[in-house]
Amino acid sequence: MATTNVRTATWNNIGTDISEMKDVSQILKATNLDYDVITLPAGFIREKGVEDPQFYATDHRFTVKADTHEPISVVSNKYVPVQNRDAFAFVDYVAGEDESFKFVKAGETKSHFVYIIGKTSPINVLGDEITPYIIFSNSHDGRSSVRATITPLRIVCNNQFRIAFRESPNTVYVRHDSNAMVKLDDAQKVLSSLNSYMHTFTSEAENLATSRLSKDNAIKIFNSLFDKQNMTLRQQNHTENMRNQFISAYEADDNQNFQNTAWGAINAASDFITHKEGRKTTDDNKFMSVTFTSPFLQQFLMSVISVSV
């Protein structure tokens, strides 16, 4: 790889290993995620020493853990929590429908984002082993729905590809219904979306591998995603360091077969965004930003497609 650092997926250092567990109930209990969430008025939380005026608004409440009353987030008066056991009930059906499915990790970030990570059988994409991972997630902040996010991982260097295609998105939003047929339907929808997504991912990779794009143009695209005009000198130095990391990833041994192609540029960008160094960040934050919230790779892909031939 581009550096001597050990390359790992962003979820490597978070959560609890659940690879030997068989069902969601066991997972939630083993990871202390089997708690209930309730809502309480702001006045109650004030007694707990929270000192933020926004928390006292009469049209808002707190979500808290029922057993400890630990505050989670501010929500509207109309918000109804989706308990973790209900949010993830359909995951057992996913495991039951796909015999290759295996549990990997589960946990809760410091921002109370709850997740279960699973994977299915690896596939071959352009000579590389790519493992499809699915991150099932729930939250109690009133902003995030129950969802399943597909994240392919290139095994040779543990690069994550957070890419959504217009015809095959990488996120499936699911219902939270106690009806067994609904759970089964949601599970089948996730697996159908996974198959569709990985088919599209493979097809796009093959197209990009035959599209010519020079190293210089790949670097120009990388630079174009940063607005240097309004940067301080410190920010410019940081950006230059990131550019060097991108070039190092581009020139890595595992990317040699894709030099001067659009796919080679995408591989370098995914390596960079998954493993970039520099600013201090927690393992939780890196997992969240790389897997869910970073627009960088998507923007880079769109720019590559627009200029490659």
Q: Which amino acid is at 17?
A: D
**CB proximity list for 216: less than 8 A, separation 6 or greater:** none
Report which of residues 178 and 16 the model is more confident about: 16
pLDDT of residue 214: 96
In 3D space, the residue among 77, 293, 94 whose CA is nearest the CA of residue 187 turns out to be 94
**Domain range annotation of the chain:** 37-76, 212-307
Mind listing the pLDDT tens digit for each residue in 40-60?
Answer: 887 655 445 554 544 455 677
Listed in sequence order, the DSSP H helices in the chain are 24-30, 42-46, 84-87, 89-97, 180-209, 215-224, 233-250, 262-275, 283-288, 296-307
pLDDT of residue 118: 98
Work out the number of other CB atoms within 10 angstroms of the CB of residue 164: 14
pLDDT of residue 3: 42
Q: Is 107 helix (H, G, I), strand (E, B) or coil?
A: strand
Check the CA dihedral 301-160-163-261 and report its sign.
positive
* Three-point CA angle 250, 284, 157, nearest 5°: 25
Mind listing the pLDDT tens digit for each residue in 210-267?
Answer: 999 999 999 999 999 986 666 777 777 888 899 999 999 999 999 999 999 999 999 9
pLDDT of residue 23: 96
**Residue 300 half-sphere exposure, CB side, CA atoms within 13 Å?**
29
Q: How does the average pLDDT of the chain come out, rounded? A: 89
Q: Is 157 helix (H, G, I), strand (E, B) or coil?
A: coil
Q: What is the DSSP pairing of strand 128-138 with strand 114-119?
A: antiparallel
pLDDT at 152 over 60: yes
- pTM for the whole thing? 0.90
Q: How far apart are the first and last CA of the chain?
A: 27
Work out the number of other CB atoms within 10 angstroms of the CB of residue 288: 20
Question: Tokens at residue 128, please?
Answer: 């590389």
